[in-house]
Amino acid sequence: MLDTIKSMDEQFVLPTYARQDIAFVSGENARLKDTEGKEYIDFTSGIGVVSVGHGNPVVTKAICEQVGRITHISNLYRIEPQAECARRIVERSGYDMKCFFGNSGAEANEGAIKIARKYGEVDGQVKRYKIITLEHSFHGRTITALKATGQEAMHNYFGPFPDGFVYAKSIDEIEGLIDDHTVAVMIELVQGEGGVQPLDREKVQALAAMLKAKDVLLMVDEVQTGIYRTGEFLASNLYGIEPDVITLAKGVGGGVPIGVVMTAKKDIFAPGDHGSTFGGNYLSTAAANAVLDVLEAYKESGKLDEAFLYFETELKKLFEEYRGLFTDAVGFGMMRGLRAKDADTLARVIAKAREEGVLVLKAGRNTLRFLPPLTISREEMDEGFTRLRRALAAL
């Protein structure tokens, strides 16, 4: 079966991914089964997407019930689960904002960039359009989100790009880069793809205050950090800031594509300024509402914080045991990394872990990245760390 899948994939799908030769057929919370019947512990949750675990019964039921009634009817009409989803996200965030729904992280960030560009347009004045982002950032793969991404290596081939993106080497450099044309700063509070690198909380708070004073928008890309991944509903809550724009995607729909841009500039768009055919349809927002049901209850019961503490404790133990392979333990909540001593070690760890039946990710700065489902059980964590230890011991 795997061979058939592989040959079709190689013949008909563009080779944009360096795929591993595994195909999964089913999953239950943090456990997965492949075509050969081998079982894995999933410390990746589909890159932070399947936040409520594989085959979550609450989300499955909500999706099935919704598609049995109505799946999609376009944004020309009022959509109950979309309105409900917006209300819940806004209320949970604690920010006075409104939402727009798209289908991915990149699309959410495109929305954020459009908000900034429109905000910079004030009649009779020089337009402000520049957006400052950070080196090692990741904001998505569309042409504009790619240009916003502060990784020069990703800018080969695809130019010319939209103008107006400026990269700061670190948060300390941002203020010095602001000029009369700067309209926004876009940051991840914990850089995900860039290596699970959290920004310093005090520095972020000082940045937020400085930007407010200069009327430059603070836009936080929470595509990876959002919806309890770092412990709070949003990483912005954890950092104690009030951004002007926040984007969400990965964990929101439990595997159903959805992206959200939310902003305190509630009057920025008029009808026709922005849109999306699929964005916020019945399917994706019903799924998101079910994900929120599951995670809100999990957080309120104290189980989420318990699981976070256990995962952190176990990961730190493993880090201490293998100081020969790793130089640092980084991250928050269920978004964590171990910095490998070099790229070769990282590749060998990931391959060996897979052999032993545990899935882990890589990220920038030679980071072994962990993004387990937020609902991962203690048994699943134990099993995953046991397998990972077996893999590390074999290196």
Ligand X SMILES: *Cc1c(COP(=O)(O)O)cnc(C)c1O
Interface residues with ligand X (CB under 6 A) are 104-106, 109, 138-140, 188, 192-193, 221, 223-224, 249-250
Hey, is 39 helix, strand or coil? strand
Q: Which residues, including other chains, have CB under 8 Å from residue 315's CB and lie 6 or more apart?
A: 329, 336, 338, 370, 385
In the chain, the amino acid numbered 172 is D
Q: How far is the CB of 173 from ligand X (least distance, A)?
A: 20
For ligand X, which residue has the nearest CB?
A: 105
- State the chain's maximal CA–CA distance in angstroms: 67
Computed over its alpha carbons, how large is the radius of gyration of the chain?
21
CA distance 221 to 208: 14
**Amino acid in position 42:** D
Q: Is 138 annotated as a binding residue?
A: yes
Say whether 188 counts as a known binding-site residue.
no
Residue 222 marked ligand-binding? yes
Query: Which residue, 106 or 268, has its beta carbon nearer to ligand X?
Result: 106
Bridge partners (DSSP) listed for residue 247: 221, 261
382 is in an annotated binding site: no
Return the number of the residue (138 or 298) whose C-beta is nearest ligand X. Answer: 138
Of 221 and 380, CB closest to ligand X: 221
Between 109 and 367, name the residue whose CB sits nearer to ligand X. Answer: 109
Helix, strand or coil, per DSSP, at residue 275: coil
Task: Give me the least distance between CB of 225 and ligand X, in Å please.
Answer: 7
Is 264 labeled as ligand-binding?
no
52 labeled part of a ligand binding site? no
47 versus 70: smaller Cβ distance to ligand X: 47
Query: Nearest-CA neighbor of 26 among 57, 55, 49?
Result: 55
Q: By C-beta, is 104 or 289 nearer to ligand X?
A: 104
Shortest distance (Å) from residue 257 CB to ligand X:
8
Neighbours of 364 (CB within 10 A): 18
Of residues 192 and 384, the one with the C-beta less far from ligand X: 192
Sign of CA dihedral 80, 82, 86, 92: positive
Strands in 123-281 per DSSP E: 130-134, 165-168, 182-187, 190-191, 197-198, 217-221, 245-248, 259-263
Determine whether the annotation assigns residue 293 to a binding site: no
State the nearest-atom distance from the C-beta of 260 to ligand X, in Å: 11
Minimum CB separation from ligand X for residue 224, in Å? 3
- What ranges in the chain are assigned the alpha helix state H? 2-12, 45-48, 57-69, 80-93, 105-119, 143-148, 174-177, 201-214, 235-239, 282-300, 303-321, 343-356, 378-393
Q: How far is the CB of 106 from ligand X (least distance, A)?
A: 3
Q: Residue 116 Cβ, how far from ligand X at the closest point, in Å?
A: 16
Nearer to ligand X, 115 or 223 (CB): 223
Residue type, 97: M
Ligand-binding site membership of 276 (annotated): yes
106 marked ligand binding residue: yes
**CA atoms of 108 and 89, how far apart (whole Å):** 15
CB 150 to ligand X: min, Å: 12
Q: Is 331 annotated as a binding residue?
A: no
Q: Known binding site for N(2)-acetyl-L-ornithine: residues?
A: 141, 276
Q: Known binding site: residues?
A: 105-106, 138, 141, 221-224, 276-277
Q: Known binding site for pyridoxal 5'-phosphate: residues?
A: 105-106, 138, 221-224, 277
